[in-house]
Amino acid sequence: MLISLAPQFFFSGITNGSIYALIALGYCLIQNATGLVNFAQGDFVMIGAMIMISLYNGANMPMPLAFLTAVAGTAVVGMALERGPLRLSRNRDTLTLVMVTVGASISFRGSSMLIWGKSDHIFPAFGGESPIFLLKAAILPQSLWILGLSLLVLAMLYVFFQRTLLGKAMRAAADNPFGASLIGIPVSRVVALAFALSGGLGAMAGILITPITSMNYDAGLMLGLKGFAAGILGGYGSAAGAVVGGLLLGILEAFGAGFISSAYKDAVAFLILLIILFVKPAGLFGSVRVRRL
């Protein structure tokens, strides 16, 4: 009986996996630009969704305009995090800066609870509620939007980093900040842009998943952790790994919930994370760096 539901589990996993991939890409951008783990990434997911809810449900703004405004607004929040507490921190030690992102995450959740309350919020799906049937699996139109927009974002990021001067400057600054500054690349601005892009990716993930799961002030924490697990699975810092890791994690999570129990759905991500850290710490697409003393 459960075997017949395999296509349903697969498409459900691909949907959630696309969201995890977008979140993991946000982590990847910050890692490559600064070498930091931004534990506020999950809160970008929540903030983007909550801004979208306020603009669409509260201000009656047209959905496309509300979508773009929410993404842009969260990008500004991401840039403010880098321009404010991270850049002004007197202690530039990596662990200290990571703890700054943890503090920012707590502040974001507390502020969101005061602004939007503790209840769940939702807005209508982009393509209606009538499912589409494929291989005996019921697929919501929102799932197709998630897949389509995720693929579009991935293609745009590829073109940005491979074909534009600004994207190449970001890659150079990430690879060798000192060398990049010597040839005139404004590294500080590049890092701020990386945080803005990370915020925008998180916001997009939150907006796309909210019509399916709803959103509250605390939901970004779990989504952020799963995105982090996806990044580790694929190879932390690898863009290709973030995508593959996100999709693979979503599929494994869906099949685990279907064949074992939905009560363990969230545990699957962290179990996979532990296994990867033990068996292949560099992840699927990561490489082990050897330091010579």
Domains of the chain and CATH, by start: 3-279 (1.10.3470)
Higher-confidence residue: 94 or 51?
A: 51
Q: Can you tell me the distance from the alpha carbon of 15 to that of 12, in angstroms, rounded to the nearest whole number?
A: 5
Assess whether pLDDT exceeds 70 at residue 25.
yes
The residue-averaged pLDDT of 208-231 equals: 89
Assess whether pLDDT exceeds 70 at residue 289.
no
Nearest residue to 17 via CA among 288, 272, 285: 272
The residue-averaged pLDDT of 241-262 equals: 83
Higher-confidence residue: 129 or 36?
A: 36
Q: How confident is the model at residue 41 (pLDDT cuts 50, 70, 90)?
A: very high
123: left (phi over 0), alpha (psi -120 to 50) or beta: beta
Q: Can you tell me the distance from the alpha carbon of 207 to that of 19, in angstroms, rounded to the nearest whole number?
A: 10
Assess whether pLDDT exceeds 70 at residue 293.
no
Percent above pLDDT 90 for the chain: 28
The residue-averaged pLDDT of 177-203 equals: 87
Q: Can you tell me the distance from the alpha carbon of 202 to that of 205, in angstroms, rounded to the nearest whole number?
A: 5
Assess whether pLDDT exceeds 70 at residue 12.
yes
Q: Which two tokens stand for residue 213?
A: 């799961």
Q: What is the pLDDT of residue 291?
A: 44
Higher-confidence residue: 2 or 140?
A: 140
> pLDDT (tens digit, 9 = 90+) per residue, 77-98?
999 998 888 888 878 788 888 8
Q: What is the pLDDT of residue 2?
A: 60
- What integer best gives the mean pLDDT of the chain? 85
Lowest model confidence (mean pLDDT) among 31-35, 160-164, 281-285? 281-285
Percent above pLDDT 70 for the chain: 95
Assess whether pLDDT exceeds 60 at residue 170.
yes
Q: Can you tell me the distance from the alpha carbon of 228 to that of 3, in angstroms, rounded to the nearest whole number?
A: 30
Owner of token pair 């699927």: 284
In sign, the C-alpha dihedral spanning 187, 189, 195, 198 is: negative
Contact status, residue 82 vs residue 192, Cβ threshold 8 Å: yes
Q: What is the pLDDT of residue 91?
A: 80
pTM of the model: 0.89
Assess whether pLDDT exceeds 50 at residue 226.
yes
